[in-house]
Amino acid sequence: MMVFAALAYMMWVPILAVCMALGVVLIRRGVSAPEWMRRGACCGGCGYELSSVGEGRCPECGAALIKVGVSTPRMAVRLRGSVFLLVMGWTLAAGSGAAPVVGTIGWLASMAQMNQLMGAGVAGTTGPCTMSCILNPSPLGSRLSAVDVEPETYSIEFAADMVTDINDTVLSGTLELEFVDSPVPAVVSLSLPDMTWTMTDESGSVLQEGKALGTGDAMTIYRAAGLDVTNESTIEELAYLSTAVADFVYSPEWDSDGLFLAENPLVASNRDTNWSASGVAQSAAMWSNGVTNWFGVWEIAMVASILVAGVVYIIGLVFFIRMRMKMMRQPAIG
């Protein structure tokens, strides 16, 4: 990410260089006369410096001044650039010089805020997020098998107790699947977010263990619970359960409303959810707890750089306008 950001900044280097060069040219034209005219009034024909126009002719080339004219620094400054162009030139030059500094500090400040926000999302959780329901096989649910097989009679008590960050990512917690109406009552406890699981019977003895709740693990769990894993309806239910649990852990609040609907092989009843620790409530908690410090070192540096750039701009603008006024006050003939 930092490499791409550096490349993006480098793409602006030629543009800033052109703007800086253009600004310097406009400033130079707005506050100074050409090199050969800086001494004073000069003959428009040969450039000889005039001390007076008494005879109306140039002492050097003899040309009639009424024909070739008299050039003065004040005239040259007026013809070479206006006050508007001077202001534009200084704006371009100052902006081109300040943009890389302010932009870099601003980028570092945004990265610091992002890191603070992410850190606050981890450390600023306010409590557990919970969801519970009872899952039952549905004869009306979506079935992939062509054979109409009556589903087995069993139920699973689904209970999740977890902690999430501001993005609803599960940080820690447990998820329990209790087979209460199966031939072998058992409880499957999953450790979140790594999805390692342990299956125990009513006495607490470990029946099975696993590191991920895939379809094969779900089949092992169903078999240990005494369910018929040769039944096509049961196979679809256990396959859907493993997928739904993985989706729920990946995004619990988003998936909680759509995981166990009537059109699925497993449907939920007696649903009870509490997501008070995530989203806006969690952000408010981070603010109230002072976890996120929005005015860190880089944020202060960014504000200071903007203020310094503004002061330098105003001082420079006043300086160049005074230089132009000084040039304009020079007498035509010394």
Question: C-alpha angle with apex 257: 254 to 263, nearest 5 degrees?
Answer: 125
Region of poorest pLDDT, from 127-131, 170-174, 302-306: 127-131
Token pair listed for 108: 């570092």
Q: For 147, list phi and psi in degrees, rounded to 5.
A: -85, 130
What per-residue confidence (pLDDT) applies to 316?
93
- Taking a C-beta distance cutoff of 8 angstroms, is the pair 162, 113 a contact? no
> How many CB atoms lie under 10 A from the CB of residue 6?
11
Name the more confident of 150 and 228: 228
What CA–CA distance (Å, rounded) separates 70 from 34?
A: 14
Query: For position 221, what pLDDT does the model report?
Result: 95
pTM for this model (two decimals): 0.48
And the tokens for 33?
């006369």
139 confidence band (pLDDT: 50, 70, 90): confident
pLDDT the model gives residue 106 = 79
Residue type, 164: T
Structural tokens at position 325: 């006024």
Question: Could you tell me which of 275, 243, 68, 100 has the C-alpha nearest to residue 170?
Answer: 275
Range with top average pLDDT, 129-133, 184-188, 264-268, 280-284: 184-188
Residues 6+ apart with CB under 8 A from 51: 333, 334
- pLDDT tens for residues 80-122? 778 888 899 999 999 998 888 888 887 777 776 666 555 544 4
Count the neighbouring beta carbons within 10 Å of the beta carbon of residue 254: 12
Residue 9 has pLDDT above 80, yes or no: no
Res 79: pLDDT: 72
Predicted pLDDT of residue 191:
93
Residues 23 and 90: beta-carbon distance below 8 Å: yes
Looking at every residue in the chain, the average pLDDT score rounds to: 79
Output the pLDDT for position 110: 75
Secondary structure element (H or E) that encloses residue 31, with its range:
helix 13-31
Measuring CA to CA, which residue among 19, 107, 56, 11 is closest to residue 333?
56
Peptide bond preceding 193: is omega within 30 degrees of 0, i.e. cis?
Answer: yes
Instruction: Give the pLDDT mean for 306-321.
Output: 93
pLDDT of residue 163: 84
Q: CA 154 to CA 187: how far, in whole Å?
A: 13
Closest CA to 260 of 128, 141, 117, 111: 141
**pLDDT tens-place string over residues 204-257:** 999 999 998 899 999 999 999 999 998 888 888 999 999 889 888 887 776 666
- Encode pLDDT of 164-207 as tens digits: 776 677 888 899 999 998 999 999 999 998 899 999 998 999 99
List the domain boundaries for the chain: 2-123+299-328, 129-284
Given a cut of 60, is residue 41 above it in pLDDT? yes
Indicate the SS3 state at residue 261: coil
DSSP 159-216: EEEEEE-TT--EEEEEEEEEESSSSS-EEEEEEETTTEEEEEETT--EEEEESS--HH
Per-residue confidence (pLDDT) for residue 248, from 0 to 100: 86
